[in-house]
Chains A and B, each alone.
Chain A
Amino acid sequence: MKGKLDPSVRQALVEEGKNLKEGLIALEEDLVQLTDKLQLEAQSIPNTTHPDVPVGGEESSVLRKEVGSQRSFNFAIKDHLQLGKELDLFDFDAAAEVSGSKFYYLKNEAVLLEMALVNWAISEVSKKGFTPLITPEIVRSSVVEKCGFQPRAKNTQVYSIEDSDQCLIGTAEIPVGGIHMDSILAESALPLKYVAYSHCFRTEAGAAGAATRGLYRVHQFSKVEMFIFCRPEESGKWHEELITIEEDLYASLGLHFKTLDMATGDLGAPAYRKFDIEAWMPGLERYGEISSASNCTDYQSRRLGIRYRPSPSEPPSTSTKKGKGAASGPTQFVHTLNATAVAVPRLIVCILENFQQGDGSIVVPEPLRPYMGGLELLSPKFK
């Protein structure tokens, strides 16, 4: 319509243009809706899986490593609830009144034990080059979703805040993953390694039965979490590093545990590969999960928008183009990994049940003693 035209020709063109425009608007709306639907469906596709991961349900998980063995006791042992009662370490009854079931107060030496576990873990892991962090425990629900969790699902693990788009975190993985959201990192900055301390809140909706006794399954607990942002080629190596750090921590506490390579049915959408550690809990007569280390490759970073700019492979030549942009490649998504250093309640279960003595006292693991003012033994008090 740019040239000089006959009025009737122009009019016809205007009509045609108008029809095209309306049709286009309608189609563009459809495209947006279709794109949203496509995006939603595609986002529910789980991460790819490492070729060595065993296929099947929980029972197909493969033993990678076993440390220690089940201690044999020459006296009748107690579970952590009874030990805690006799040593005045917890109060579940008062917490049930004040807050509801699966809440608890820690008292006396149990407070020192929690603080010691946290302090010790932060100290040990930061020595290995991890940056200590204390994180928000309230986050936007979108960040929760980007990490691969589902705050709005039926039986969700996530607590939501009323009149708000915010949620409580179930793990520091979420605020740590979010710390670099929508960013482009320099390759030279990688790997970024964090050790983060937070409280964690989980609804445990749908979890019932004997496996929820005492400290084993609770709504609120303290956790020190390790998180790594790295180049894709390195995530396998960092996964091995993380599981080794965990195994060293628990071995030094004197625990007996198994490291499992979790089977496909147990991975959870974000994980490319997941190693769980299950420790022996003699009072509960079971191995219980005390930590989990996942390599999420680019699943989370594609959602959180975390990229890095690869460094130029050769120094810039006499090219007239300014800046690094010309010689470096396009941005890539980082890989993310997360691993539990200490999840306090289950470690308290392990310590109480494994290190109990015939007289009802508990031997404090050596690495924790400096963090408890040198305390070596939790003894029954004459009250």
Chain B
Amino acid sequence: MLTCGRFISSSAATSTASFFPFRTLTRSLVRRPAPHLLSSASAAAATAVELDTNDGSAGGGAGVVRPQWKAAIDFKWIRDNRDAVADNIRTRNSTANLDLVFELYDQYLTLQKEVERLRAERNAVANKMKGKLDPSVRQALVEEGKNLKEGLIALEEDLVQLTDKLQLEAQSIPNTTHPDVPVGGEESSVLRKEVGSQRSFNFAIKDHLQLGKELDLFDFDAAAEVSGSKFYYLKNEAVLLEMALVNWAISEVSKKGFTPLITPEIVRSSVVEKCGFQPRAKNTQVYSIEDSDQCLIGTAEIPVGGIHMDSILAESALPLKYVAYSHCFRTEAGAAGAATRGLYRVHQFSKVEMFIFCRPEESGKWHEELITIEEDLYASLGLHFKTLDMATGDLGAPAYRKFDIEAWMPGLERYGEISSASNCTDYQSRRLGIRYRPSPSEPPSTSTKKGKGAASGPTQFVHTLNATAVAVPRLIVCILENFQQGDGSIVVPEPLRPYMGGLELLSPKFK
């Protein structure tokens, strides 16, 4: 009997593989309880359910481009927490389509089961052919085997395409949200801490552009000719100020056990995506390199996250703490208006970034540690700022929780964001493929099994966190505008003076 006829008969499809025969298939089959589908990475009894397409068959239809990577999505968890996930998507204003994910997931399960069933039948037929058989019986089995094989190839192609589509939809589901995060848009963000107060001036103050012009610190006009708008040259003491901020930040943060890094600024676009950014979206922030799959980084978060991609770390190595210096490049597409004046919004800037890989139980604690480091840095510079617990509408897909610091910029008459500290939990690590192997809870006994593998548990995803130590241009805005004096000079914050050869004041020069 041609068992494959069962699933083809109800459709108009013939023996040639149509694009989505499984649609007919799913409608004609009764839903069965979902089997546990395990990814190849965690073979033991894992709680995560991931998609398995390691069937070695044809990779989709002719000309179909498979995605370069896939996140290790926990489908079972999503299914078990459907309402919470839907709620989260809503409060974050995410465009993820959860209903579609569920629909595709059900189709996937059904199709997967059908594929397994066909494989089993094909194996059964193959087994039957092992013994001594009548030629006519053998011939019939060969025919049946051939039909099963063709049917299987078609179904497996469909499965691959379905899996890719499901994966793509599911990957756009944003991270879960910390229960204390305020719900709403930007205005719902909650004040966590306030340091200092707005300085009152007894003279007419200037903004950083005017101060910079008088002190010959920047050139925006020449940069507009050479490069375009929102580019700039730093000159004279502004160069010393940038170098001082970077040197000081690396020094202060590495004292706290962070390993200094200088990173590549050109990365593969897949790594950008795995960190939760979208290089190909309309109005993307990401610059791409022509004739290449490479992009410019918008933050060192990307190459630092990537440094351990596709790795299994020892638990004893955690937490891994890095302080990374890089230039950052952002298109700022879609950002226009007065909020882009001078150094406030630029295409290229220097930044020192903190990044932590840790065990899940510790990410909350490290988030607090990171924000404290930031607050200490800015307080020591003498800035007045507010730390905000950002609301759900402002989180961005990877962040479980995000604290922003906004500092007072008297010349621009506004508080402006100077740093951001995010706990991304396992969002990035599921995409970058970064796991750790928990250490054995007891030392190995007299068991004859060698090595650590036996007693330690299955691998888990690490949690990742990132936080700005210094983003140079906006700190220059803060320093110039807050510490200006009536005569046009600027007082250099004390912590930076040793890094500027002891310079205490930026003074107007008689030029």
Contact = CB atoms under 8 A, between A and B. Distances in A.
Nearest to A115: B247
A137 B260 contact: no
A175 B226 contact: yes
Interface string B4-29: 00000000000000000000000000
Interface stretch (B136-144, B162-170, B265-273): B265-273
Nearest to B346: A136
Interface stretch (A23-31, A43-51, A177-185, A230-238): A177-185
A220 B262 CA distance: 11
Interface residues of B, number: 52
Contact of A132 (B235, B261, B287, B291): B235
Given A98-B267, A138-B348, A197-B239, A106 B262 contact: yes
A94 B306 contact: yes
A219 B263 CA distance: 12
A98 B271 contact: yes
Nearest to A219: B266
Nearest to B223: A136
B307 interface: yes
Interface string B268-286: 1001000000000000000
A134 B219 contact: no
A135 interface: yes
B264 A99 contact: yes
A45 to B, nearest CB: 25
Contacts of B2: none
Given A98-B306, A132-B236, A182-B225, A111 B262 contact: yes
A163 B228 CA distance: 14
Nearest to B295: A162
Nearest to A110: B262
B306 A138 contact: no
B306 A97 contact: yes
Contact of B261 (A111, A140, A219): A111
Interface of A is mostly: mixed
Contacts, number: 150
Interface size class of A (residues with CB under 8 A): 35 or more
Given A98-B271, A105-B307, A135-B233, A118 B243 contact: yes
B232 interface: yes
Nearest to B260: A111
A133 B264 contact: no
Contacts of A373: 251
A97 B263 CA distance: 13
A138 B250 contact: no
Interface in B215-247: 219, 222-223, 225-228, 231-236, 238-240, 242-243, 246-247
B279 to A, nearest CB: 10
Contacts of A112: 260
Contacts of B310: 97
Given A114-B262, A134-B233, A373-B251, 6 more contacts: A107-B259, A111-B261, A123-B501, A168-B296, A179-B226, A219-B264
Interface of A: 91, 94-95, 97-100, 103-108, 110-112, 114-115, 118-119, 122-123, 131-140, 143, 159-163, 166, 168, 175, 178-182, 197, 199, 201, 219-220, 373
24 contacts: A97-B306, A97-B310, A99-B294, A100-B268, A106-B261, A108-B260, A119-B247, A132-B239, A133-B239, A134-B242, A137-B329, A138-B287, A140-B226, A140-B227, A143-B226, A160-B289, A160-B290, A161-B289, A175-B226, A175-B233, A179-B233, A180-B222, A199-B265, A219-B266
